[in-house]
């Protein structure tokens, strides 16, 4: 007779002292873990509810400007620095973690139209309505010294926006014409014209450093090459684009913020049709900026809200708003991919989290794993009605809610009318036009 019975000695299963952690024994036998699906579903439901509970995206604001904030520039190498220009010609430099203004001076007569750091962050360049392009030292002036520009250039034409090339000392300004400047030179290197009376935005590509694009008041977006003499191509849209932003990871993709409440992502290789139409805003979109990963972008709008879009999705994943925030003038995604900085009409600069419910600060590995697990579960059960509804729900201000309803009615009416027209005309006379083809008029070479 051979016999053995389960017998466990307690010292093998219990911790020796109270200072140790409890011993954990795992057995992944599926029979010992019944209802795994239902329990996972419950966990996913809890996770998505907790996500809502912790969704507190607003971190703080930087106040001090005496007029609306016109433009903001991120420091290329330091996360804590920020420079902003206002409508009264004032420029302020901020320390973000301390939420302090470390430097302020009046740079221009009239509005500061644009500000940008040089690639290494030693200087920043401002342009204003007084047609001057001023270069400033990033270092604070010595005690008792006045803020003086390192270099001042007077442009012959109006300048409305500027963008710096990624690595060299060349930058572009827009205005009546697009001009290419080099640091320390008083004359533009090149001037580009294409029968347009004014251009209001210019942006350099971050991967392909010689390519840049501009938005013109004749509803077109023009592409340029810094090595070429003339502009490359343009695409004319139904309404004006306000801002152009290049994808920092994919050289040929850019997104423009349009007056018709939408954003359009284009592939430069085929401008006839946008790759994607991003809808959700209920006012003209004024600003767009890509996340450093190139997977998401943030947009600010005249409807007083910020929206975050996944680059390949047509609808936003997030909306940020506060009672006091007015029309957005600029929105930036910080280079650590964690925060969003917005400047608006009511003189404040606001700092937001890029992911509303993300926990900031250091995390235990256990905590991080738990959050990852929760994310995976949310993903797994994303299409379940209950989880979908909770995850998608956003509280929006009344004016947005009403505007959304109104837009919905308008779109329904248009669709109905088109259907009626189709029903009463010859087959094929009223074709089905995809949404992507609706907003572009033509591509010009």
Maximum distance among all Cα pairs of the chain, rounded to whole angstroms:
107
Q: Tell me which of 16, 19, 20, 32 binds other proteins, using CB under 8 A.
A: 32
DSSP 8-state symbol, 152: E
Identify whether the C-beta of residue 445 lies closer than 8 Å to the C-beta of residue 220.
Answer: no
Task: Count CB atoms within 10 A of the CB of residue 73.
Answer: 23
- For residue 411, report the phi and psi dihedrals to the nearest 5 degrees: -65, -40
Per CB under 8 A, which region of 41-49, 247-255, 300-308, 410-418 contacts other proteins? Answer: 41-49
For residue 132 the two structure tokens come to 């001057």
Q: Report the residue from 16, 34, 139, 145 that binds other proteins according to the rule CB under 8 A.
A: 34
Residue 29 lies near other proteins (rule: CB under 8 A): yes
Is residue 360 involved in binding other proteins (CB under 8 A)?
no
Q: Is 31 in the site for other proteins (CB under 8 A)?
A: yes
Per-residue contact flags (x/-) with other proteins for residues 225 to 264, judged by CB under 8 A = ----------------------------------------
Residue 28 or 432 having the CB closest to other proteins? 28
Report if residue 38 touches other proteins, rule: CB under 8 A. yes
Q: Give the nearest distance from C-beta 387 to other proteins in angstroms.
A: 11
Q: What's the min distance (Å) between Cβ of 38 and other proteins?
A: 5
Q: Which is nearer to other proteins, 12 or 16 (CB)?
A: 12
Query: How would you classify the pairing of strands 199-204 and 285-290?
Result: unpaired
19 binds other proteins (CB under 8 A): no
In the numeric block, the tokens 């392009």 are attached to 133
Q: What is the DSSP letter of 352?
A: E
Of 232, 241, 215, 213, the C-alpha closest to 439 is 241
Q: How far apart are CA 193 and CA 172, in angstroms?
A: 13
Tell me the β-bridge partners of 237. 440
Q: Which x/- pattern, by CB under 8 A, does the window 380-419 give for other proteins? A: ----x-----------------------------------
Q: Which of the ranges 22-30, 67-75, 152-160, 225-233 carries the binding residues for other proteins, by CB under 8 A?
A: 22-30
How far apart are CB 34 and other proteins at their closest, in Å? 6
Taking the CA atoms of residue 159, residue 201, residue 251 and residue 85 in that order, the dihedral angle to the nearest 10 degrees is 70
What is the bridge-based pairing of β-strands 348-353 and 190-192? unpaired
Binding site for other proteins (CB under 8 A): 1-10, 12-14, 22-35, 37-39, 41-43, 46, 384
């Amino acid at each position: 007779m051979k016999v053995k019975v389960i017998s466990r000695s307690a010292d093998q299963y219990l911790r020796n002292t109270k200072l140790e952690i409890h011993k954990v024994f795992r057995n992944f036998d599926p029979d010992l873990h019944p209802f795994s699906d239902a329990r996972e579903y419950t966990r996913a439901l809890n996770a998505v509810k907790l996500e809502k509970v912790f969704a507190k995206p607003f971190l703080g604001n930087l106040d001090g400007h005496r007029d609306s904030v016109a433009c903001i520039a991120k420091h290329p190498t330091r996360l804590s620095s920020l420079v902003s220009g206002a409508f009264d010609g004032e420029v302020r430099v901020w320390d973000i973690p301390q939420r302090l203004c470390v430097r302020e001076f009046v740079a221009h007569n009239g509005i500061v139209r644009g500000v940008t750091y040089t690639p290494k962050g030693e200087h920043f360049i401002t342009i204003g309505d007084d047609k001057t392009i001023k270069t400033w030292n990033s270092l604070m002036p010595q005690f008792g010294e006045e803020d003086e520009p390192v270099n001042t250039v007077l442009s012959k034409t109006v300048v409305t926006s500027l963008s710096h090339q990624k690595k060299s000392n060349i930058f572009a300004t827009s205005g009546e014409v697009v001009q290419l400047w080099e640091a320390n030179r008083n004359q533009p290197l090149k001037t580009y014209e294409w029968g347009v009376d004014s251009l209001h935005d210019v942006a350099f590509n971050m991967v392909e450093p010689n390519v840049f694009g501009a938005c013109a008041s004749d509803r077109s977006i023009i592409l340029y090459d810094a090595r070429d003499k003339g502009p490359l191509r343009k695409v004319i849209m139904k309404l004006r684009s306000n801002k152009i932003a290049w994808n920092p990871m994919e050289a040929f993709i850019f997104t423009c913020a349009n007056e018709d409440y939408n954003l359009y992502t284009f592939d430069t290789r085929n401008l006839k049709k946008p790759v994607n139409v991003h809808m959700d805003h209920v006012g003209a979109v004024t600003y767009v900026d890509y996340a450093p990963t190139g997977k998401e972008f943030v947009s600010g709008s005249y409807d007083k809200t910020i929206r975050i879009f996944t680059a390949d999705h047509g609808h936003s994943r997030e909306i940020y708003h506060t009672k006091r925030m007015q029309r957005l003038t600029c929105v930036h995604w910080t280079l650590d991919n964690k925060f969003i900085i917005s400047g608006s009409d009511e003189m404040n600069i606001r700092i937001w989290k890029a992911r509303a419910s993300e926990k900031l600060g250091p995390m235990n590995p256990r905590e991080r794993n738990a959050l990852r697990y929760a994310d995976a579960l949310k993903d797994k059960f994303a299409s379940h009605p209950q989880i979908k509804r909770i995850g998608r729900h956003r509280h929006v201000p009344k004016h947005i809610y009403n505007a959304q309803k109104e837009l919905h009615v308008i779109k329904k009416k248009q669709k109905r009318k088109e259907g009626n027209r189709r029903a009463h005309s010859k087959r094929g006379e009223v074709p089905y036009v995809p949404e992507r083809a609706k907003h572009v008029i033509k591509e010009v070479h």
